[in-house]
A and B are shown apart, each in its own frame.
Chain A
Amino acid sequence: MGRAKFLFGPVAGRGGIVGLIGYFFRRSFLNVRQNLLINALAVVTITLSFLIVSLFLLLYVNLEGAGELWSEKVQVTVYYDRELNGNEFSALKNVIMTLEGTGTVGYVSQDAALKRFRARLKGQEALLDGVPPEVLPASLEIRLKPAYRTSEAVEAYVSRLKKIPAIGEVQYGEEWVRRLTLFMNFMRFAGALLGGFIALAVLFIISNTIKITIYSRREEVELLELVGATRFFIKMPFLIEGMLQGFLGALLALVILAAVSWAFFNHAGTFLLFNPQEAGLLFIPMEYCAAIIAAGILAGFIGSLTSLHRFVNQS
């Protein structure tokens, strides 16, 4: 008697809509407890499915991050065979800054260029002994805004840049930019394609897992129909249960991935050739985590709804 008192809540009619919702939630949690094994199996399956999704997202986010990092190296250089004085640089910078897509404009004097060159020849600096700074050109280094770092955008930018009077020789490493653009486009296309397939597969797996949990309790569905429960009354606890399974599965997947990622980021340096922390590897951003949780709840809801639609209408 003691335990039973907690099982029945105020339900439809007497407790109003709040009482009804309260009843559905209590019923769902109780159903999970009473069908613990099948629910645990469903959550494990959903967790594994979402581990694949979140692992894919983790790889995608870091590849995208690496691409962004490389794209920061996209720069347009304007060479001059003489030094520009302060006024000339300011005037040119003001004009270049008005060009759409310009991020920053910096000046590298002939002296600075020689120092940079010397630094690159680390250990063999002696080769440059006696070489005067005038041998190297002075230059303007223009960094572009992220959206203007594709091959087409850089080309268009350079043609606009060349129209500015007093602009010198322009170089921007066409081949490198073209390859970077190609890589980024391929990665986005492959990511969308693979992501789409994974999402479909996961939805299919979750839907069928939940279908099995409902199928194992079809007698309950049939009985509820025969004692006069409305379809809404029958479906609601199952829908909440499905959403709960999806939520728990997605959450567990993220927790496991976070733990594994943390261990990898902090300890992989000891057995890999690079340190993941220094390489700038990131965990999935919070908004993606929220999206995974939401996707779990949605998949649980859809899985339950489609299965119930079949069973409730059949009996």
Chain B
Amino acid sequence: MIQLHNVSVTYQQDVCALHGISLMVPKGDFVFLTGASGAGKSTLLKLIYAEIIPNRGQVIIDSQNISRLTRSELPPLRRSIGIVFQDFRLLPNRTVMENVAITLEVLGLGRKEIVERVTRILTQVGLEQRMQATPCRLSGGEQQRVALARALVNEPKILLADEPTGNLDDENKARVLAILKEANCRGTTILVASHDRRLIASSHKRAVVLERGEIREVHDGAR
């Protein structure tokens, strides 16, 4: 479960990115974070994977307060979270397969298991023919799916995706959404930051609308 209690984040002392946010995401939920650019969607995701620490309030992930985590407690938490970055963050010198395998190498899995699991997830995202390509040889949609595969390959408890459908055509958007829903069906809690209102509406999932660092409204996503 993800819990945010009265969380505020200020950048460079005076730029307020989030202000008094309280949010609860139960285990297995699928939530969209939406709002205009600068509303605080990415900042909220960064709080959950502890890239930043709140100036005020508490962020609790599976009963762990991220402000109180020691250096040795942080890696295990991050291993339970899959992240799809807005800029993909694929390593240009490594192949698609190696990019996806990073998550499993960190977990310490054996060679055979890594190859099996990477092959399975790349097949699932439709990139089984592109395993030996480097990211620069892939289209934007393919790079997006590699990033998604890397985040999902270790079957994380939580998946955070920052604009996973940005700059994708409708076919690729639907494909990405289907992959996310499938992961959600297997029990992964999913938080997606997106400003794509059509995608959110078509997903029928809960949506939290952010505006200038505050929660403006919450749609329950029911049909």
| Residues of A that sit less than 8 Å from B by CB | 1, 3-5, 7-15, 20, 23, 27, 34-35, 219-220, 222-231, 233
Contacts and interface: CB of A to CB of B under 8 A. Distances in A.
A13 B107 contact: yes
Interface stretch (B36-44, B71-79, B187-195, B206-214): B71-79
Contacts of A222: 89
A220 to B, nearest CB: 6
A17 to B, nearest CB: 12
Contacts of B102: 223-224, 227
> In this complex, which of B74, B101, B111, B115 has the most chain A Cβ atoms within 10 angstroms of its Cβ?
B111
Contacts of A4: 95, 97-98, 101, 115, 131-132
Interface string B33-74: 000000000000000010100000000000000000001101
A98 B94 CA distance: 75
Contact of A219 (B79, B91, B114, B115): B91
B108 A220 contact: no
B103 interface: yes
Contacts of A223: 89, 91, 102
A227 B152 CA distance: 11
B49 A1 contact: no
Contact of B132 (A3, A12, A23): A3
9 contacts: A1-B115, A11-B108, A13-B108, A14-B108, A220-B91, A223-B102, A226-B89, A227-B102, A229-B75
B88 to A, nearest CB: 10
Contact of A226 (B49, B107, B111, B132): B49
B95 A233 contact: no
Interface in B119-166: 119, 131-132, 150
Contacts of B91: 219-220, 223
B111 to A, nearest CB: 4
Given A14-B109, A227-B150, 10 more contacts: A4-B98, A8-B101, A11-B105, A27-B105, A224-B106, A226-B78, A226-B83, A228-B75, A228-B77, A228-B107
Contacts of B97: 1, 4, 7
B93 interface: yes
A227 B79 contact: yes
Contacts of A11: 105, 108-110
A150 to B, nearest CB: 57
Contacts of A3: 132
A228 B98 CA distance: 16
Contacts of A8: 101, 104-105, 110-111, 114-115
Nearest to A38: B93
Interface string B6-29: 000000000000000000000000
A34 B75 contact: no
Contacts of B109: 11, 13-14
Nearest to B96: A4
A236 B44 CA distance: 32
A229 B105 CA distance: 9
A26 to B, nearest CB: 10
Given A7-B98, A219-B91, A223-B89, A1 B131 contact: yes
